[in-house]
Structure 1
Amino acid sequence: MAYTHFRYVGYQVPTVGLGPGAENYLKIPPGNMPDLTGISQEAAGIINNVTNADARCRLARMYLVLMQAYQAIQTSDNNGTLKVFLAPEFYFRPYVEPGAQGLPAYSYEDYQSLKTGLISLKNLPLFNDWLIIPGTIVWQNTGPAGKRPFTGSVFYNTVVCSLSDNEHIVNEKTEASEVDGIPAASNAPFTVNPAYYSTWRKQRKHIFNFMGINCGIEICLEHSLGILKNQYGFFRRWFYSTPPISLHLLIAGGMNIINPLIATIPEGYILRTDGMKRGTQVELRNKNVPAANIIASTIAGIPASLQLPDPGCRPGYFFAQELHIYNPLPLAQ
């Protein structure tokens, strides 16, 4: 099916808190496991197969929020409209009590289990016309992990995107920032190995085609580094058949849109969702439109049973949890 329009659905949910201390960034606890009564047996099985309890709880909540969005628009959209769902950076980051032992990162085995769950839920038939970006997964591994090079004890901040039943992409954030809650790249033996993740072979995956629509994705700090715009320029120089980017997807934890670094064609759009309280959390706009003229959305509150608990954030750093549902807009290609 050729898509003519897209509809942005932004999941506004805090994923980075700020505590009472100076620059005391807080992780957000997963809350109670949502009640899965009434969902399909297949979806329940996928969720319950996730090995880590924290990840399982967050996945269950995301699925129910997705279902809320699906039910809100299913009668108004046809299969010519691509639905684009974005959750913010750090949505899948395990909670560690302040001062407690342990690291805010899943194991490689738990990451693999969660990745399988995310891909399986996206591939359910009701999400055929949905591009789902489920935020990022923070995980840690000692030793080889898939095709990644062995560099000792490594942290990853990863986004998984299912493109079809048989294809998905994995992008790792190029380098960590202080908000990531993991040791900085310079603090060996912990490293996110920025030299490797800055190579074109890794960064080329920031540009992908979803059902005929060329998209680009950045994780927070990558936007200020111009990762996507620079990578697209590289492709245009060396691979002349590279189609223009229609949708620029920015998932963040404290990163505003920087107009000169938007990588779309003039008629394209940038979609942003942010898990940290710095102005607007969910945003959709054309690259040529001033920030003051952002497109308005319909806001749907999320039931209390599906909301994440406040870990004790400073006032203003734990904001409303809601869905921002935008009207369909023509796709520029």
Structure 2
Amino acid sequence: MYYNKVQFIGYDIYTGPSNPGTVNAAYTGQLSDIDDMNTRIGLMKQAISTASSNSAVDNNSGVLKIFMAPEFYFRGRHGGYDIAMMTGIQGDMSAPSLIDELATAVSDSRYGDWLFVFGTAILQSFDPKTNTYETYNVAIVQKGGYSSTDDQLANRVVIMKENKSSIDYLQWPASGLSDFNTAHLPALGDASYSKEINTPGGGGGGGFNGGSIFHIDNITFGLEICLDHAERRLVRAFPQKGQLYVQIQLIPSGGMSIVSSAVAASPNGLVFSVDGLGASGGGGYGHHTVLNRVNFSLPRDLSDLDDIAVYNTAPVHVSNPDLSKAFYVPSGQDPTLRFFSPEPMTAQVAAK
């Protein structure tokens, strides 16, 4: 599919702990991780349905719609889900497969021109030898409109966060994962463009090798989860001769803003950030969404990022009792959908 324009939709929702910044800070969610995941999937479906029905959406087939939620959307009351819940727990038909449920949620043909970044999921496995939990922070990206599982897989990637932040896990939670008993997935090592390539449905791990660069519909995307952006993961994977620059840089985060020196998108490229921890303008706890266009020529002038204003907003989850089951809502920070006007698609540029 060829797209000449792209429209960004941010799912602004606070995904941090309850009572943030206090000794009573706690992970939010339901006692049962299965119930919790199902509730969050239901809320995600509602947000997507509300977004797709909004008059601000350009339904022209030449416009790619990108819908993104923030980091930590799927984590639950215990700080993370058992890693088996990513693909389903064998023998437990009541346990959802997160990736399958999300792919099914956007399988309708009306989502054929949509790309979804479902925030991130925190997954964990326990190592009894070290008495620690190995944790994985992953972003699930799915192109919509595919009903067969093979086509869904061929249009999906899973990106793993490399860098654990000091605020990713609570230090003294009443229950669940703590910063002191978690071992984060180790980094890939020396950064390179080739190592970061994540091939949907095959090649580099069937879209599950964790790399941050992927190609869907002839568009080169780069995705960094929160601290990976500040650590310049994509910039360090700079393309070599013949390799394609990132056209669209995506940053789902929980406590991060766009860092000019970490922008890896090509000249005239687009950088999209959805954060689930900090309120807009640095005004305490909440959420914010930012879209920038890169306005420089190589070599880069890092000051040239043009802010693109939000075109329309819409409330979501109004009067839905499931919201409080899964998420804490800071005062004045109700979940909101933020729509940007369609932007011209950035041209492909290969390194020379």
Shorter-chain TM range is 0.7 to 0.9
- Structure 1 residue runs without a partner (length 5+): 32-50, 96-102, 144-150
Give the Cα separation in 2 of the matches to 1:170 and 1:305. Answer: 32
Question: Are 1:61 and 2:43 matched, yes or no?
Answer: yes
Given that 2:56 and 2:312 are in contact with CA atoms closer than 8 Å, whether structure 1 keeps it comes out as no
Question: Shift of residue 53 of structure 1?
Answer: 1.0
1:119 aligns with 2:103: yes
Q: CA deviation at 1:82?
A: 0.1
Aligned partner (choices 200, 222, 225) of residue 219 of structure 1: 225
Within a 5 Å distance, the mapping from 1:105-184 to structure 2 comes to 105-112=80-87, 113-142=97-126, 153-163=133-143, 164-167=151-154, 168-181=156-169, 182-184=177-179
Distance 1:125 1:312 in 2: 30
- The structure 2 residue matched to 1:308, chosen from 323, 330, 335, is 323
Identify which of 294, 299, 321 aligns with 2:335.
321
Structure 1 counterpart of 2:257: 256
How much has 1:74 moved relative to structure 2? 8.4
Q: Which amino acid aligns with 2:50?
A: Q
Encode CA deviations 1:226-275: one digit per residue, 9 max, x unaligned.
001211x1xx22xx332221111000001011112111112111111000
Secondary structure at 1:67 match in 2:
helix
C-alpha change, 1:53 and 1:263, in structure 2 (3 Å) is: same
- Change in CA separation of 1:30 and 1:14 when aligned onto 2, cut-off 3 Å: farther
- Partner Cα separation in structure 2 for residue 313 and residue 53 of structure 1: 17
2:84 counterpart of 1:87: no
TM-score of the superposed pair, with normalisation by structure 1:
0.77
| 1:63 aligned counterpart, secondary structure | helix
Query: SS of 1:296's equivalent?
Result: coil
Tell which has more relative contact order, 1 or 2 (C-alpha 8 A, sep 6+): 1
Match of 2:93 in 1: none
Q: In structure 1, how many angstroms separate the alpha carbons of the residues matched to 2:124 and 2:263?
A: 31
Q: Aligned AA for 1:297?
A: Y
Q: 1:25 to 1:273 in 2, by over 3 A?
A: farther
Q: CA deviation at 1:160?
A: 1.3
Cα offsets for 1:275-294 (capped at 9, x unmatched): 01243511111133867844
Tell me if structure 2 keeps the 8 A contact 1:30–1:309. no
Deviations 1:87-139 (A, max 9, x none): 000001112xxxxxxx3111122222112211222333221111100000011
CA distance, structure 2, for counterparts of residue 155 and residue 274 of structure 1: 21
Distance 1:57 1:109 in 2: 18
**Which amino acid in structure 2 is aligned with residue 127 of structure 1?**
Y
Q: Which structure 2 residues correspond to residues 286-305 of structure 1 after superposition, within 5 A?
A: 286-288=293-295, 293-305=307-319
Identity %: 25
Count of matched residue pairs: 292
SS in structure 1 opposite 2:64? strand
* Residues 20 and 121 of structure 1, relative CA distance in 2, 3 Å threshold: closer
1:192 to 184, 187, 192: 184
Where does structure 2 lack aligned partners over 5 or more consecutive residues? Answer: 88-96, 144-150, 170-176, 198-210, 282-287, 296-302, 348-352
Q: 1:42-82, CA deviations, whole angstroms, 9 ceiling, x for partnerless residues?
A: xxxxxxxxx81101110111111101111114874211000
Pairwise CA distance, 1:153: 3.7
